[in-house]
Structure 1
Amino acid sequence: MDETQHGAPSRRQIMGGVTAGAAAMAAAAPAFAQGGAQGSSQAGSSATATATPGPLVQPRDPRGVYPKPPFIRQPQDWPGLAGQMNPRPDHGETSYRGSGRLAGRKALVTGGDSGIGRAAAIAFAREGADVAIGYLPQEQPDAEEVLDLIRKEGRKAVALPGDIRDEAFCRQMVDNAVRELGGLDILVNNAGRQHTLPSLDELTTEFFDWTFKTNVYAPFWITKAALPHLKPGASIIITASVQAYEPSAALFDYAQTKACNVVFAKSLAKQLAPKGIRVNAVAPGPYWTALQPSGGQTQENLEQFGGDTPMGRPGQPVEIAPIYVLLASQESSFTTGQVLGASGGSGNP
């Protein structure tokens, strides 16, 4: 990227941002009250175990900073809303603190209304980027919260509702993002479809196609549309999964698409490195997002979700947001074709 177009910071500012950024990655999450999901509250309530973040350098025991299972059953229709989860996920609404690491950058995040995409969008804005988010129209309530948080940081927020299974919409979404943001230099292909089915007999061609269109075709269409607008210094990030390495029996189609996402990053990185554009993937483990109660897990599995990790709990979206910031920032300028994992001590890479 041509830094003269975005107000290049001084050396002192850069070094200060790196130091603060390292601290933020070390401790981006607040101390959480335990047992926030336990008790007799009804599914769909907005109960949250919140706390004021302590100093970023304060060490915390990672096993106990967020709620652990058992969680209550809380079925939602697809695609689900974070605002109806109990406890509500922490996307960094109050806990993520930026340090200007993405000042002047322009980002498009698909699935930016909730979950990991929402956490990345909030973090990008706190780091100084203008952000466009793609999401399904049914997710408008969650999206409004994110857009408001971006604007409160003094950054431009762009809403791009639509279905990425439609190739024409994917092209339109990118064009609108570029026009509204005045350019594009960070692309996060994060939106995903996951639906657990215990038997191959239950997996219809319609469902199989739905998963692949969302998780594999859409990133291809979106990235292809974005490439003419990306200049040297740009970063492309795709959300893969530990399912690419340790597939679950009940996520037969989803796991295949996540393996595709890993190869997407590794292959495209080789194509685009000569153009100065980096491509990487993130492979999350179990994270407490709206994907899970809306079909990503059975309600029985949801009760103990994340309990089988060495940490004994699922991750919160804010805990993985710093990885997206790192991959988007100039600090990782020699990192491309990589897959960074965050799974609470289990899974690969």
Structure 2
Amino acid sequence: MQKEGKEKIRPAQAQPKPGLEEKMKPTPESKPKLPGPKLEGKVAIITGGDSGIGKATALLFASHGADVAIAYLNETEDAKETQKEVEKLGQKCLLIKGDLAKEINCRKVIQKTVDAFGKINILVNNAGIHWEQQELTDISTEQLMNTFNANFFSVLWLTKYAMEYLKKGSSIINTTSVTAYRGSDHLMDYAATKGAILSFTRSLSANLAEKGIRVNAVAPGPIWTPLIASTLSPEDVAKFGSDTPMKRAGEPNEVATCFLFLASDDASYLTGQVLHPNGGEIIGG
């Protein structure tokens, strides 16, 4: 029943139960939205796209027709390999090197992408860092600021500067984490940044809904990426992911499909939501 005060968005109508679809006005849309390439003609920015989840997402986007701009810190060898693989799929790939913990570099990423491709349709805020610390007192102010600048403020800055170019139908996808929901006793500052990204995603989605720009997030669990091998102890690396219900870490290409779904029109009725590729851990939200 249409509530009083709500704007009517379709003709008033009624049927006896259980109702017939063919008599509905308009008829519900049931056919698959995109049977072919899901991102054809689109331009996507993917931060941290040189390796791991970002690389897998870049390759999957390219396989569905998108050109990509990859922002990365200093892993030039990995970035060039990703670029080569994207180009083999018939798409363009722009590499942008720079520390996204600095606002000026975030602005440069947006401008260089627009200069190269003329538009931005998809923004994937994926880059992140962390350092293990067993005690709160071991987290220096320098580490705290570095973690927040790289993980959270970069998301805010990139999105802010992209707003000029994002039009109706655009998609913003942020990488949060399972730690945003359950915390982490050894990654406290990292988990805090991921919680901030979660709240920012929900807030921005409400802000942009009427403009037709969708904002969602992906909250991976343990995923086998260079960040893990370069920051955890050898003992922790050896058992990484074994505490999940599936008893293993996930692979980047098992997460990239979440980004493809949220970037495409398949997710046209989703905003402010989070997907959870985490090996089966049940968490709130």
Q: TM-score of the superposition, structure 2-length normalised?
A: 0.87
Q: Map 1:61-76; keep pairs closer than 5 Å.
A: none
Letter paired with 2:267: S
Query: 5+ unaligned residues in a row in structure 1: which ranges?
Result: 1-13, 19-98
* Residue in structure 1 matching 2:242, options 307, 314, 318: 307
Aligned-residue offset at 1:157: 0.6
Q: Report if the CA contact (8 A) 1:112-1:134 is conserved.
A: yes
Q: Which residue number in structure 2 is paired with residue 105 of structure 1?
A: 42
Q: Which amino acid aligns with 1:120?
A: T
Task: Give the conservation status (yes or no) of the 8 Å contact 2:34–2:265.
Answer: no
Q: Answer whether contact 2:33 2:265 (CA < 8 A) is retained.
A: no
Structure 1 equivalent of residue 62 of structure 2:
125
Q: Which residue is 1:242 aligned to?
A: 178
Whole-Å Cα distance in 2 between the matches of residues 16 and 274 of structure 1? 22
2:187 aligned with 1:187, yes or no?
no
Matched AA of 1:119 = A
Identity of aligned residues (%): 46
Q: Residue in 1 aligned with 2:12?
A: none
Contact (CA 8 Å) 1:132, 1:157: kept in 2 or not?
Answer: yes
**One-letter amino acid of the counterpart of residue 270, structure 1:** A
Is 1:321 matched with 2:256? yes
Structure 2 residue runs of 5 or longer lacking an equivalent are 1-30
Q: Distance in 1 between matches of 2:264 and 2:150?
A: 26
Match of 1:168 among 80, 83, 104: 104
Q: CA RMSD in A?
A: 1.3
8 Å contact kept, 1:285–1:347: no
- 1:114 alignment partner, one of 43, 48, 51: 51
SS of corresponding position for 1:123: helix
Count of matched residue positions in the alignment of Structure 1 and Structure 2: 254
Report matched runs for 1:204-243 at 5 Å: 204-243=140-179
Amino acid at match of 2:123: L
AA matched with 2:59: I
Q: Distance in 1 between the 2:69 and 2:215 partners?
A: 19
Counterpart Cα distance in 2 of 1:242 and 1:248:
9
Q: CA deviation at 1:331?
A: 1.0
Distance 2:237 2:37 in 1: 37
CA distance in 2, matches of 1:302, 1:240: 21
Residues of 2 paired with 1:254 and 1:15: CA distance? 39
- 1:256 correspondence with 2:192: yes
Structure 1 or 2, whichever has the larger Rg, is 2
Deviation at 1:347, TM superposition (A): 4.5
Q: Runs in 1 of length 4+ with deviation above 3 angstroms?
A: 14-18
Shift of 1:264: 1.1
Tell me if 1:158 matches 2:91.
no
Q: Give matches, 1:78-89, under 5 Å.
A: none
- Indicate yes or no: 2:215 matched with 1:287: no
CA-CA distance at 1:146 after TM superposition: 0.6
Supply the AA of the counterpart residue of 1:107.
Answer: A
* Helix, strand or coil at the partner of 2:168: coil
Counterpart in the other structure of 1:336: 271
Gap change, CA 1:16 and 1:215, over 3 Å in 2: closer
Q: Deviation at 1:174?
A: 0.6
Q: Could you give the per-residue CA deviations for residues 239-279 of structure 1, whole angstroms, max 9, x where no partner exists?
A: 00000011110001000000011111100000001111000
CA contact 2:172–2:216 (8 Å) conserved in 1 = yes
Please state whether the residue corresponding to 2:163 is helix, strand or coil: helix
Give the whole-Å Cα distance in 1 for the aligned partners of 2:200 and 2:80: 31
User: How has the CA–CA distance of structure 1 residues 327 and 16 changed in structure 2, closer, same or farther, with 3 Å as cutoff?
Assistant: closer
Aligned twin of 2:10: none
Q: Is the 8 A contact 1:107 1:130 kept in 2?
A: yes
Shift of 1:298: 2.5
How far residue 16 of structure 1 moved from its aligned partner, in angstroms, is 8.6
For 1:276 and 1:128, the matched residues in 2 are separated by 22
The one-letter code of the counterpart of 2:198 is: V
1:201 Cα offset (Å)? 2.0
Where 1:337 maps in the other structure, the secondary structure is coil
Judge conservation of contact 1:247–1:255 (CA < 8 Å) in 2: yes
